Amino acid sequence: MADAGALSPETVMRQMKQNGVTDIVWLPDSETNWLFLLMRADPDLRLVGVTREGHACSIAAGLFAGGRKPMMLIQNTGMMESGDSIRGWLMGLKVPIVLMVGYRGYTRHGVNNDTAATYTERFLMAFGIPFYLVENDADADRITIAFKEAEEIKSPVVVLVGDEYHGFNR
Amino acid sequence: MMHTADLLKVFAEFRGDAIVISGRGGRHWIELSDTSLDVPLGDPAMGGHSGFGLGLALAQPNKRVILFDSEGDILMSMGQLATIAEQAPANFYHFILDNEVYATTGGQPVPNAKNVDYAMIARGAGYPRAFNFSELDAFSAELPGILKAPGPVFVALKVFPEVENTPIGQRVRWRKRSADKVVRDLRGVLGAG
């Protein structure tokens, strides 16, 4: 089992279901395998795997245009690579969507050796995208807050998963 | 080579009640149809139209979704073809308008413009059916059969470039609705919100 101070994949799944997510558009990272197995076992959840994170934006926009409620699951590295797609396909089309973003390099103390972490929050602030940090199960209600905010502002909201290095694998 | 306006006129006869993402054919399609089932988005971010078409097709499995994409978009997002083939939406019809250039930036050739076989690439990515057409007569003859069979299908169409050289700020805007209004209208007619 993941330790009690971690964000468990079951908690993330519960948040997805609670908020009516129908489709996960995603690109795996090294830490999300257990979540992948849970998602794949759920017959009500469609998984759409992409080969580059920016592709997820237009797929999610199409799903939303057709009446579904997609969520994106990617890593911060891919989020930064996806800047123009986030701008054009999600913000431009006013898609209310939550992006769960693995916060690679996050150390809590602000001292890190990974520029992926250095630029993550700066990137989100430059784009004006609201974000919430989730580190463990006690933070999980912030995911629901993110869904509500996305609906209110009709634009993407990011949940940074600061537990990337231990919570999603077993 | 075909003129985009001509092939869209041919397609319009067989459109039925399909959702049409006019993509790179938008400025011509809008002269033929601009209902809530028409989705002229302009260019939200290059390379993404195929993903948008996939998402829409998955969301609306009982409606045919037609996309007029381009070779420049495909080259930018070739991995989307594998995702589309894996999801295999039977209602998705993926046309590309291949003019061999980046027309909106002045007509510079796309890489290896004359030698890329996009239908072969789509087949290699897993599309069960893929076609190439460069003549209007052949396209007109085959189109009804292509649209009757299930997707996903990929149809590469060689078209004459329509190069734009005026500064972007001086170009005549052909879209009548903003992109987000287009999405709202579509969701409305689909009963999605």
pLDDT above 70: percentage of residues in chain A: 92
Q: Which two tokens stand for residue A162?
A: 């600061």
Domains of chain B with CATH codes: 4-189 (3.40.50.970)
Domain that includes residue A72, residue range:
9-161
Amino acid at B132: N
Cross-chain residue pair A84–B45, CB shorter than 8 Å: yes
pLDDT greater at residue B165 or residue A98: A98
Cross-chain residue pair A66–B49, CB shorter than 8 Å: no
- Looking at residue A165, its pLDDT comes to 56
Cross-chain residue pair A56–B51, CB shorter than 8 Å: yes
pLDDT tens per residue across all 193 residues of chain B? 999 999 999 999 999 999 999 998 999 999 999 999 999 999 999 999 999 999 999 999 999 999 999 999 999 999 999 999 999 999 999 999 999 999 888 889 999 999 999 999 999 999 999 999 999 999 999 999 999 999 999 999 999 999 888 888 888 888 899 999 999 999 999 999 7
Residue of A nearest to B78 (CA): A51
- Looking at residue B135, its pLDDT comes to 98
Q: Which residues of A touch B192 (CB under 8 A)?
A: 65-67
Q: Which residues of A touch B187 (CB under 8 A)?
A: 64-67
A92 touching B (Cβ < 8 Å): yes
Strands B101-102 and B108-109: antiparallel
Average pLDDT of every residue of chain A: 91
In a domain, residue A144? The reply is yes
Residue of A nearest to B39 (CA): A65
Cross-chain residue pair A55–B183, CB shorter than 8 Å: no
Helices (H) and strands (E) in chain B, counts: 8, 7
B146 vs B143: CA distance, rounded Å: 5
In a domain, residue A59? The reply is yes
Q: What are phi and psi of A11, to 5 degrees?
A: -65, -40
Of residues B45, B57, B82, nearest to A85 (C-beta): B45
In a domain, residue A1? The reply is no
Identify the burial level of B16 via C-beta atoms within 10 angstroms of its C-beta, where 0-12 means exposed, 13-18 middle and 19 or more buried.
Answer: exposed
State yes or no: cis peptide before A96, omega within 30 of 0: no
Which CATH number do you get for residue A37? 3.40.50.970
State pLDDT tens for residues A110-166: 788 899 999 999 999 999 999 999 999 999 999 999 999 999 999 999 999 987 655
Please give the tally of structural domains in chain A: 1
Q: Closest approach of chain B CAs to the CA of A108, in angstroms?
A: 34
Helix, strand, coil shares of chain B, percent, nearest 5, are 45, 20, 40
Q: Smallest Cα–Cα separation from A128: which of A80, A87, A96?
A: A87
In a domain, residue A54? The reply is yes
Identify the burial level of B167 via C-beta atoms within 10 angstroms of its C-beta, where 0-12 means exposed, 13-18 middle and 19 or more buried.
Answer: exposed
B135 touching A (Cβ < 8 Å): no
- Looking at residue A168, its pLDDT comes to 58
Q: Give yes or no for a contact between B55 and A66, defined as CB atoms under 8 angstroms apart.
A: yes
3 state SS of A21: coil
Cross-chain residue pair A52–B77, CB shorter than 8 Å: yes
pLDDT at A37 over 50: yes
